């Protein structure tokens, strides 16, 4: 099965083959003598040039401007959706600069070094071929403007005896046996050809027709490979087989094998654990447990294993005292799998409770967070594919807890305290004070809608005490935080005026990011405590189709359009007739406390089918049969 990843390779090989077929014969010369191998030299020169020049340009671009393409792709200034609006708080700028530095780091791996050595060897071969071609061209230059009378130093009306006498005279002077000079041998060959052009009938005819006693030597255009000797036909066959007959199939097999790998880059064991543990109604605890089981961080070196197991009990007690009531008290064990699970849980809770001071290995935490991000996204895709809306919402709570460092359980999942912790420089104590004094703006949506002057004066209060730079970060967060609005929602059937049972209906959802200006597009989410500044601001739409009892099927769809005005189309099959109601839930993937609900009503009619007529035929109202 072909994939999009194969087409660049197929296009590249096809282009090379086309260039070889055109350039090589153009440069090839029809050689009359059996020992002339200039055609093969021109063919090799054309073949190497078509491959080495673009390869060398790519290597130079990579070495001179490392990561430029990756940076432009990760942090585009403009896109097809508009000017990208990135969060410019101090913490996010540091995260973005760290990501850019990592993208610009030259990755000189062993494989890349081996390719550089191969490239250098091929360039040496190309230079050697160019030197040989230069010698061939220098020899050919001797026969340009070939004038046998001038070469023999005789006049155009000289007799045969005078021409013969001049030939003998010059032969005695330039014969290799008489003159050891290297240039004398070439001069002697030229004298011999001039003599043949004036005395030999065949050479005389070639000179009169083509200007050369050996016949035509001009370059000819033809889409054919040059003629080579039998001794060198094997080399040409090998040069043809390797890149085209062998290289293209192997590249196709590689692409087909790569396409079968999980797109999230998860190992097969992780996918197997997710598949086996996926359920229709997982709660947050079960989703978190499945996440830790599926992707556990690597253990430290073997001498640190027992120390880590001892640390687990102490860290667990400290986390539990702080409020992590869902930290499971696991039995003390020296089994490797149990120690890995304990370590993963400590890392998880140390991050979501913002107690990194209790963790010894922060690099291990960063690695674990990146793995958990990929695993959560894979679990979200599986739940959406199966239509498990409750499992999807639980996984969203865990994922948002990871990227925002907020407790995903119980009160931390969507309460105002948890959502306000996403604001820069807000601590638990400052959040408590803010909710006590400003109950009207105790949630994240109300905080974002708070008038700027009132917010600035409130943040400057003595008990909260934010500095000018901290207030600037909060203002920047308010400007870039999503303020999504549902403009309109309707259900219709494409090309029809009515909705009937069994039709494929379309839910059209029109959204507006009121925090963006015209022509802007949203950038990445504000995630200062997450090790990556490239967390997308995606949204999930979930709703349950009408059904008898609890038999309704859930529909889950992810919206990734970063535009200011978003139009999403979600298709589903109409299950029942009558007045139907869809309760939509719009959930933000990267922020806590911004979920919204909307109700959409539509009327579905029963498809009318005609009773069978006398001929035993039947039809519907929409069908029109003409005899």
Sequence-distant (6+) residues with CB within 8 A of 393 are 542, 585, 587
Specify the range with the lowest mean pLDDT, choosing from 49-58, 193-202, 246-255, 611-620.
611-620
At residue 222, the pLDDT reads: 43
If we measure between CA atoms, which residue out of 132, 137, 120, 75 comes closest to residue 523? 75
Q: Which residue(s) pair with 513 in the sheet?
A: 484
Whether CATH 2.60.40.150 fits 484-604: yes
Pair of tokens at residue 54: 């673009």
Specify the range with the lowest mean pLDDT, choosing from 31-45, 78-92, 168-182, 203-217.
31-45
Q: Coil, strand or helix: which one is 563? A: strand
pLDDT in tens, 299-358: 554 444 433 444 556 666 676 666 555 555 555 555 566 777 878 888 888 898 888 888
Check pLDDT > 80 for residue 255: no
Alpha carbon distance 45, 123 (integer Å): 11
Q: Which residue(s) pair with 193 in the sheet?
A: none
Check pLDDT > 80 for residue 119: yes
> 582 φ, ψ to 5°?
-110, 125
Do the Cβ atoms of 406 and 422 come closer than 8 Å? yes
Strand ranges, E, within 498-605? 504-513, 520-522, 539-544, 554-559, 565-573, 578-588, 596-604
At residue 203, the pLDDT reads: 80
Check pLDDT > 50 for residue 514: yes
Q: Of 202 and 232, which is predicted with more confidence?
A: 202
Q: Of 604 and 142, which is predicted with more confidence?
A: 604
Q: Of 22 and 104, which is predicted with more confidence?
A: 104
Share of the chain above pLDDT 90, in %: 32
Confidence of residue 518 (pLDDT cuts 50, 70, 90): very high
Alpha carbon distance 437, 464 (integer Å): 11
Share of the chain above pLDDT 70, in %: 71
Which CATH number is associated with domain 148-210?
A: 1.10.287.110
pLDDT in tens, 34-52: 344 566 667 777 777 777 8
At residue 297, the pLDDT reads: 61
Q: Using the structure block, give the residue that is written with the tokens 């909710």.
A: 435
All structural domains of the chain with their residue ranges: 6-66+106-141+221-259, 148-210, 484-604
Q: Coil, strand or helix: which one is 612? A: coil
For every residue of 313-352, which 3-state class applies, written as one string? HHHHHHHHHHCCCCCCCCCCCCCHHHHHHHHHHHHHHHHH
Average pLDDT, the chain: 78
Other beta carbons within 10 angstroms of residue 181's beta carbon come to 10
Check pLDDT > 80 for residue 569: yes
């Amino acid at each position: 099965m072909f994939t999009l990843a194969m087409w660049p390779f197929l296009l590249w090989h096809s282009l090379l083959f086309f260039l070889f077929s055109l350039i090589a014969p153009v440069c090839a010369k029809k050689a009359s003598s059996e020992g002339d191998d200039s055609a093969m030299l021109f063919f090799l020169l054309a073949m190497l040039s078509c491959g080495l020049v673009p390869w060398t340009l790519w290597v130079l671009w990579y070495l001179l401007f490392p990561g430029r393409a990756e940076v432009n792709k990760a942090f585009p200034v403009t896109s097809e959706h508009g000017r990208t609006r990135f969060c410019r708080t101090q913490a996010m700028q540091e995260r973005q600069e760290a990501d850019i530095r990592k993208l610009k780091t030259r990755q000189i791996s062993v494989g890349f070094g081996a390719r550089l050595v191969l490239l250098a060897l091929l360039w040496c071969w190309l230079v050697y071929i160019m030197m040989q071609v230069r010698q061939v061209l220098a020899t050919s230059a001797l026969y340009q403007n070939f004038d046998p009378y001038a070469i023999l130093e005789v006049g155009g009306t000289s007799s045969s005896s005078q021409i013969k006498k001049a030939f003998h005279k010059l032969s005695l002077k330039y014969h290799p046996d008489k003159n050891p000079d290297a240039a004398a041998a070439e001069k002697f060959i030229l004298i011999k050809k001039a003599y043949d052009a004036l005395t030999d009938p065949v050479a005389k005819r070639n000179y009169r027709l083509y200007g050369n006693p050996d016949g035509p030597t001009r370059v000819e255009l033809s889409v054919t490979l040059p003629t080579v000797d039998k001794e060198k036909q094997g080399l040409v066959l090998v040069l043809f087989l390797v890149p085209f007959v062998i290289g293209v199939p192997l590249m196709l097999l590689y692409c087909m094998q790569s396409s079968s790998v999980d797109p999230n880059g998860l190992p097969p064991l992780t996918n197997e654990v997710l598949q086996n543990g996926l359920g229709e109604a997982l709660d947050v605890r079960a989703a978190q447990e499945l996440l830790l089981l599926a992707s556990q961080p690597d253990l430290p070196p073997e001498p640190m294993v027992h120390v880590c197991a001892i640390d687990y009990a102490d860290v667990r007690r400290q986390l539990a005292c702080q409020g992590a009531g869902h930290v499971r008290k696991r039995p003390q064990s020296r089994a490797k799998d149990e120690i890995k699970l304990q370590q993963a849980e400590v890392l998880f809770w140390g991050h979501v409770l913002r107690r990194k001071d209790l963790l010894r290995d922060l690099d291990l935490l960063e690695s674990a967070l990146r793995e958990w991000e990929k695993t959560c996204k894979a679990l979200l895709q599986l739940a959406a594919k199966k239509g498990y809306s409750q499992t999807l919402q639980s996984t969203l709570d865990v994922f948002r807890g990871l990227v925002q460092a907020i407790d995903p359980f119980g009160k931390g999942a969507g309460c105002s305290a948890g959502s306000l912790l996403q604001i820069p420089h807000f601590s638990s104590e400052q959040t408590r004070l803010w909710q006590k004094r400003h109950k009207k703006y105790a949630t994240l949506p109300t905080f974002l809608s708070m008038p700027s002057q009132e917010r600035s004066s409130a943040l400057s209060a003595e008990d909260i005490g934010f500095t000018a730079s901290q207030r600037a970060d909060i203002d920047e967060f308010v400007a870039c935080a999503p303020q999504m609005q549902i403009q309109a929602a309707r259900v219709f059937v494409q090309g029809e005026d009515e909705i009937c049972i069994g039709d494929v209906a379309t839910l059209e959802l029109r959204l507006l990011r009121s925090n963006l200006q015209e022509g802007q597009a949203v950038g990445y989410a504000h995630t200062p405590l997450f090790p990556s500044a490239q967390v997308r601001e995606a949204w999930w739409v979930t709703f349950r189709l009408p059904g008898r009892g609890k038999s309704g099927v859930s529909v889950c769809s992810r919206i990734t359009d970063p535009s200011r005005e978003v139009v999403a189309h979600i298709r589903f099959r109409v299950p029942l007739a009558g007045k139907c109601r869809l309760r939509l839930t719009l959930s933000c993937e990267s922020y806590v406390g911004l979920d919204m609900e909307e109700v959409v009503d539509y009327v579905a009619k029963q498809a009318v089918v005609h009773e069978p007529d006398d001929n035993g035929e039947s039809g519907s109202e929409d069908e029109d049969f003409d005899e």
